[in-house]
Amino acid sequence: MLATRVFRLVGNRALSTSICLRGGHGVAKVEDYTLPAYFDRRESPLPDIKFVQQLSPEQKSLKEKEKGSWAALSKEEKIALYRISFKESFAEMNKGTGEWKSVVAGIFFFIGFTGLVVLWQRKYVYGDVPHTFDPEYKQKEVQRMLDMRINPVEGFSAKWDYENNAWKK
């Protein structure tokens, strides 16, 4: 508005008229996502719009019949009216998808694949274990633990028979 007043002072009539006309900046295009939408959701049972927006002629006549007494409607007609307003029933929208089977299958598959990766690593990546893992070394370790009487009451050395130099039966 300020701009048109300035131009009127300057005397540029053509420009000022066009700016006056476009004062409202036109109308924006209506996007789909701004309009009310239909959705099947348990927690909000009544969506903003009916499911079927363009009624066929039979549906139109059914809607006219709906305006009368509902006792006159047959069972199929009532179901047809429901399906005009709603896409899925509660039972249909709530039922499970069986997606968990795919998830579990994926879990098992990737665990298996990880196992293969680990085996490959053991063969091609890791070096030798230290010499302290040799059986003879391990034997000497066990003998030393028994000599030191490690856990003699309830634990390690309690299971060794010192008289007969063998593990207790």
Partner 1 sequence: MSLAKPAMRGLLAKRLRFHLPIAFGLSLVAAAAFKFTVTEPRKQAYADFYKHYDSTKEFNAMREAGVFESVRPTRK
Retrieve residue 139's tokens: 């034997």
Judged by beta carbon, residue 55 or residue 148, the one nearer partner 1 is 148
3-state secondary structure of 74: coil
Among 153, 163, 164, 167, contact with partner 1 (rule: CB under 8 A)? 153
Angle (CA) 46 47 53, round 5°:
120
How far apart are the C-alpha atoms of 3 and 22, rounded to whole Å? 12
Contact between 162 and partner 1 per CB under 8 A: yes
Q: Please choose, out of 8-16, 62-70, 114-122, 153-161, the segment that lies near partner 1 by the rule CB under 8 A.
A: 153-161
Q: Are 81 and 62 in contact (CB under 8 A)?
A: yes
Please, what is the minimum distance in Å from the beta carbon of residue 158 to partner 1?
8
Judged by beta carbon, residue 13 or residue 144, the one nearer partner 1 is 144
CA 145 to chain centre: 54
Judged by beta carbon, residue 76 or residue 163, the one nearer partner 1 is 163
Q: Are 85 and 51 in contact (CB under 8 A)?
A: yes
Among 115, 139, 148, 159, contact with partner 1 (rule: CB under 8 A)? 148
Letters for 94-133 (x = contact with partner 1 by CB under 8 A, - = none) are ----------------------------------------
Among 43, 76, 147, 163, contact with partner 1 (rule: CB under 8 A)? 147
Q: What residues does 166 pair with on adjacent strands?
A: 161
How far apart are the C-alpha atoms of 22 and 137, rounded to whole Å? 94
Residue keyed to tokens 């039966």: 169
Contact between 6 and partner 1 per CB under 8 A: no
Total number of residues that touch partner 1 (CB under 8 A): 9
Q: Are 159 and 168 in contact (CB under 8 A)?
A: yes
Q: Which spans of this chain sit near partner 1 (rule: CB under 8 A)?
A: 144, 147-149, 152-154, 158, 162
